[in-house]
Structure 1
Amino acid sequence: MRLALPLALGLLLFVAVAAPAPAQEGGALLPRVVDEAAVPGVMAKAVDGFILPGYRNLAETTKALSEATAALCKAPSAASLEAARSAFSGVVQSWSAIEIIRLGPALEQNRFERFLFYPDRKSTGLKQVQAILAKGDESATQAETLKAKSVAVQGLGALEYALYGTGAETLSGKQGDFRCRYGLAISENLDTIAGELLAEWDKPDGIQAAWKQPGPGNPLFRDNKEAATELLGVLVHGVEMVKDQRLRPFYAGAVDGKRDPGHPRLAIYWRSVNTMPSVSTNFRALQKLFDTAGMESLLPADSRSIAGSIDFLFKALINAADRINGPIDAALADERQRRTLDFIALNTADLTDRLNRDFGGAIGLGAGFSFADGD
């Protein structure tokens, strides 16, 4: 089904009607509480059904990328360059499916920023990558020395430039030797980080145990409500990340009554044409976490329709993102696709509200609580 912008208001009306009004007694709102008995099971399903499989897939694709890049360096050709680029896109997809877990091991040792430095608002990272290529800095061609450098030169953004940026055509011949060895060091670095993330989550007595067993002695969650709040926070912040860091940098819609012309070169992965496929995967990942963990079971029985309206929004956003699958500059030059971007922005904001206000309120977060504010 193709959803056009005029349906946006209808969609918002649908979810507004679908969500139940808070129960009242004598004119006062009744307190809502999370179904605490369901929390450990929900957290366990989030770990076993989403987080661990996500990191396993990431480790598999980074290994394939490292192997494809090594093959390119050993025998450069148009075919081996295409294989390395295809493997890069595979890692973009697997990373986009798990990057919403921006906590714990992902924050330790700057792993998240080392894997993906974005947004690069002042093109600081781009300039550093270009300097490495211009100078032929050999210390950037070994993963061990590369990881000691700026986070901006050792992750997906740097590798995308190496594979797709100015001069990338040299990779199909011997003249691209240094560039390829730099790309290989980045690939190996990504593979190492992916392996570390999987290993940390795979430890039975590590962070997965903390997620699965909330309680007084737990270093992360003293009770079930704290655990449920953390999981919901992953979803809220994940949606906000898509809205603020993936969409807004290259297209803000109408600003002060004037249509934003768009800024395609500020879009993530614009060189490799992975911008909207990555956004679509972000939405799919968020929906998968919501459904796989069984978040609906945390809601009071008379509020379960909230989960239905959230799922409806996820599906609509995924379908819309999938319709923009070419270069982002071409999308911004096409009025129909711009309307689709407007639709995505509008309903992403509504999805944030549904999760933060409606779901959060239904499981007992007090009035005025905001994940965005960290209250």
Structure 2
Amino acid sequence: MRKTLMIACAVLASGGAARAAAPEPGPLAISVIEQWLLPRNDALAEAAAVQRDAWRAACADGDYAGDLAALRERYQAAADAWAAVEHVTTGPVSLSLRPDRIFFFPDKRNAVAKALAELEAKAKAGEVPDDTFRASSVAGQGFPALERLLYEPPDGEPAARCRVGVAIAGNLATLTGQIRDEWRSDVGPLAKLKAGQGDPVHFADPGQAAARLLTDLAGGIQRDVDMKLLPVLGANLDTARPKAAEGWRSNRSARTLKASVASLTAMAAIFAKAAPAEIAASDGKAFAAAQAAVAKLPDDVGEAAADPKRRKVVEQAVAALKVAQANIVKDVAPAIGVPLGFNALDGD
């Protein structure tokens, strides 16, 4: 990815006719935030709040076993909403370790299970205070920990598990609500952009805001490839790792990718609209192909990667996503005059 972005920068430096009509970066960033990001942040905060309320109601009697189906439904809806924005690193989400607290992944050292066990041990004595919960491991604060409570066989005291579930669901509602409100604040980063200003925390000027959002787009595709698909595929059939698939416990491996790519496609369309028609059309085709390839993924992506008869479908999704990313880097970014930076997944 690093080399690819360096190529993009070189293309940008060369100039050309495509840059002559480049849009103003401030209004472009505002369009992406208002048309794409804010509605999805609103949907996430709402889904998380509904999930919190469902947990509180289910645990009123100290045991959520009888409400498991309803809680799983609320979990799936909230996780879908998170998948639509998880690639965003620009703005309020970047503060206070929010991404890891919302969704700790990948879990290479079984940190989620350890954190959950520690929380359950504390919950045996009663409700987990907010300050105690916030000081606990980030691995136990978000969706992956809640997934284990909902989709693994129950182990431990029902009341303690209830208290932990209520604490996690409440934390997710709080974090997602904060992100929503800070974007919409009268003194927040969007308000600064509308005033033609930079933000002292998030971006130096409107141009940097557009660059960071475009980098989030390119990085979001990379995230789906590098974190959700390649670890599952392994180098070959013999090294495939089915349990490396995100959300395999809740049967979300393909569902998460579909939600993510649909959202990335919508984000890309706003940037592409500012490019010449032929580049916008090419971008649309690349993302449509990526969506079509991801749509063919079976629910059990991990198992498919280890199956010689089905592995090809996973490989085709990787290939299509890489084409869409290349389109953004090599065509859209130079055409709209927005330089790409380095994202959280880039190496040295």
| TM superposition score category, shorter chain reference | 0.7 to 0.9
Q: Write the deviation string for residues 69-91 of structure 1: whole angstroms up to 9, x where unpaired.
A: 12222254655111011111111
Residue in structure 1 matched with residue 73 of structure 2 by the alignment: 86
Question: 2:174 is matched by which residue type in structure 1?
Answer: T
- Please point out which of 228, 237, 242 is paired with 2:210: 228
Residue in structure 2 matched with residue 43 of structure 1 by the alignment: 29
Residue in structure 2 matched with residue 272 of structure 1 by the alignment: 250
Q: Check the 8 A contact 1:201/1:208 in 2, yes or no.
A: yes
Q: Check the 8 A contact 2:26/2:206 in 1, yes or no.
A: yes
Question: 1:322 is matched by which residue type in structure 2?
Answer: A
Q: Write the deviation string for residues 44-68 of structure 1: whole angstroms up to 9, x where unpaired.
A: 2212211111111111111111122
Residue in structure 1 matched with residue 52 of structure 2 by the alignment: 66
CA separation in 2, counterparts of 1:360 and 1:317?
A: 19
Question: 2:184 is matched by which residue type in structure 1?
Answer: D
Residue in structure 2 matched with residue 192 of structure 1 by the alignment: 174
- Please point out which of 127, 132, 141 is paired with 1:154: 141
Residue in structure 1 matched with residue 265 of structure 2 by the alignment: 287
CA deviation after TM superposition for structure 1 residue 352, in Å? 1.8
Provide closer, same or farther for how the CA distance between residues 227 and 191 of structure 1 changes in structure 2, counting only shifts above 3 A. closer
- Within-5 A mapping of 1:218-367: 219=200, 225-252=207-234, 255=235, 258-291=236-269, 294-299=270-275, 301=276, 304-364=277-337
CA separation in 1, counterparts of 2:131 and 2:331?
A: 47
SS in 2 for 1:103: coil
SS in 1 for 2:233: coil
How large is the Cα RMSD of the aligned pairs? 2.9
Question: 1:331 is matched by which residue type in structure 2?
Answer: A
SS in 2 for 1:248: helix
CA deviation after TM superposition for structure 1 residue 343, in Å? 0.4
Provide closer, same or farther for how the CA distance between residues 79 and 327 of structure 1 changes in structure 2, counting only shifts above 3 A. farther
Question: 1:87 is matched by which residue type in structure 2?
Answer: R
Provide closer, same or farther for how the CA distance between residues 205 and 189 of structure 1 changes in structure 2, counting only shifts above 3 A. same
CA deviation after TM superposition for structure 1 residue 209, in Å? 2.2
CA separation in 1, counterparts of 2:21 and 2:131?
A: 47
CA deviation after TM superposition for structure 1 residue 296, in Å? 2.5
CA deviation after TM superposition for structure 1 residue 225, in Å? 4.1
CA separation in 2, counterparts of 1:34 and 1:141?
A: 58
Moved more, 30-39 or 334-343: 30-39
TM-score, normalised relative to structure 1: 0.79
TM-score, normalised relative to structure 2: 0.84
Q: Check the 8 A contact 1:40/1:213 in 2, yes or no.
A: no
CA deviation after TM superposition for structure 1 residue 336, in Å? 4.6
Provide closer, same or farther for how the CA distance between residues 316 and 93 of structure 1 changes in structure 2, counting only shifts above 3 A. same
CA deviation after TM superposition for structure 1 residue 103, in Å? 2.2
Question: 1:295 is matched by which residue type in structure 2?
Answer: F
Provide closer, same or farther for how the CA distance between residues 29 and 111 of structure 1 changes in structure 2, counting only shifts above 3 A. closer
Q: Gaps spanning 5+ residues in structure 2: where?
A: 1-10
Residue in structure 2 matched with residue 112 of structure 1 by the alignment: 99
Q: Does 1:97 align with 2:70?
A: no
- Larger Rg over CA atoms: 1
Moved more, 218-227 or 73-82: 218-227
Q: Check the 8 A contact 2:304/2:311 in 1, yes or no.
A: yes
Provide closer, same or farther for how the CA distance between residues 77 and 360 of structure 1 changes in structure 2, counting only shifts above 3 A. closer
CA deviation after TM superposition for structure 1 residue 214, in Å? 4.2
Question: 2:289 is matched by which residue type in structure 1?
Answer: A
Provide closer, same or farther for how the CA distance between residues 77 and 207 of structure 1 changes in structure 2, counting only shifts above 3 A. closer
CA separation in 2, counterparts of 1:338 and 1:89?
A: 26
Q: How many residues align?
A: 332
Question: 2:137 is matched by which residue type in structure 1?
Answer: S
Residue in structure 2 matched with residue 17 of structure 1 by the alignment: none
Residue in structure 1 matched with residue 7 of structure 2 by the alignment: none
CA separation in 2, counterparts of 1:104 and 1:137?
A: 37
Moved more, 32-41 or 58-67: 32-41
CA deviation after TM superposition for structure 1 residue 246, in Å? 1.6
Q: Gaps spanning 5+ residues in structure 1: where?
A: 1-21, 23-27
Question: 1:41 is matched by which residue type in structure 2?
Answer: P
Provide closer, same or farther for how the CA distance between residues 374 and 247 of structure 1 changes in structure 2, counting only shifts above 3 A. closer
Moved more, 43-52 or 206-215: 206-215
